[in-house]
Structure 1
């Protein structure tokens, strides 16, 4: 039986042309690709064809979209071990990145009953609370909400944690050594607040981690921190190592 030649769809031809542009570095990581209108005029194709090619390349990991700004070439992702405990800033530096950590909010207060339950605190216990974002080359990577029992870290609010590790301060100043963690992970859609902070669209899934960090203080095991971290799924990936 002879094969039947099937015409190549226009969107597929455009897709291959965009891949060629990326491979030949005509457009580099985190740079805008040509606009829909430019491609429509240059290749004499419809907007529907352009959008289909772009959507396929987004799904295949070549491109990413920023709402209201355009479509960009996806840069390299950073990889983090799920089983290895380290601060995000330290992990990014170990991968060769030069991250910036910004504290957006901080306070000392008595948390909600839900947080008290998560941390097994007494009703009158206070926490040191921070909201911070990590950026690589100006691009937000993750957003963290952190709760630390204040009874273990009095006056910690006087430290500057912009680009400084909280875990190092816990070790050096408060003599709390981190010994382990429990984490859960799930895919969620961002709220408007998170979408703005991470500079993503409302339909880009985020990887949400809930974490409980444990430490040793005066030879006692204590819960050091409860956190919620939201990672951009288009800029990060995670792996697990099993060593016998």
Structure 2
């Protein structure tokens, strides 16, 4: 076990950070592996808990490590890159990247739209909308909490077609002859609430990306609007501009 140099001008927490980084890079701690507890690290390196916490917190901020609420600290994997201006379905994009997508339906309900939804979907307050909440995972790791709204007048009985193992965009193509060809998106950040933190297995108030999307068909009519939440430590958004 490598000891820290108490005579060095380099702070102990920084020395500990470097040791952990080297251990990750050498493969001593593999991606997804849990680190020893704070108490164990204190014993290993003969340092205070404050020193260990400072080192771990810095490494979490730097995305080398991540915390699972109530479980411990783990080694992060490389961030998943997501093309910000893509319009393909989650299933198609994930499969094309060589990873395994999966979907869990968190809830569906028919409800009256808010004033904002009426404006986005160009419908009246008297019309119903389908609210679909899903958890989208990659290789069994939670990746997106998505909430989408569809106008029932245009997609009657849509809720009866929704399943955990089929792309919603595929359902729209095969059952309603509707294909998404354009999407307008805005990207924001927010902090996770307790429910979102439990789903993502992260600390409460972790940084999330909030991606708001309005999807259009070939007739330039709105098909649906959605809000998607991503754990910021797990994804990097990219975009390509062509001259």
Whether TM exceeds 0.5 here: the answer is: yes
Aligned Cα root-mean-square deviation (Å):
1.6
> Where in structure 1 do 4 or more consecutive aligned residues deviate above 4 Å?
none
SS in 1 for 2:202: coil
- Structure 1 residue 6, shift from structure 2 partner: 6.1
Matched, 1:134 2:133: no
The correspondence of residues 97-136 of structure 1 with structure 2, limited to 5 A, is: 97-136=99-138
Alpha-carbon contact 1:57-1:63 (below 8 Å) kept: yes
The correspondence of residues 60-75 of structure 1 with structure 2, limited to 5 A, is: 60-75=62-77
Q: How many residues are matched?
A: 237
Match of 2:221 in 1: 222
Match of 1:182 in 2: 184
**Quick one: distance in 2 between partners of 1:32 and 1:40?**
16
SS in 1 for 2:51: helix
Gaps (5+ residues) in structure 1? none
- Structure 1 residue 135, shift from structure 2 partner: 1.6
SS in 2 for 1:151: coil
**Quick one: distance in 2 between partners of 1:200 and 1:17?**
24
**Quick one: distance in 1 between partners of 2:203 and 2:66?**
10
Match of 2:25 in 1: 23
Alpha-carbon contact 1:182-1:212 (below 8 Å) kept: yes
- Structure 1 residue 22, shift from structure 2 partner: 0.8
**Quick one: distance in 2 between partners of 1:76 and 1:87?**
22
The one-character-per-residue Cα deviations of 1:30-81 (angstroms, maximum 9, x if unpaired) are 1111111111001101111111111121122211112221111001221111
Match of 2:160 in 1: 158
**Quick one: distance in 2 between partners of 1:122 and 1:22?**
55
Match of 1:243 in 2: 242
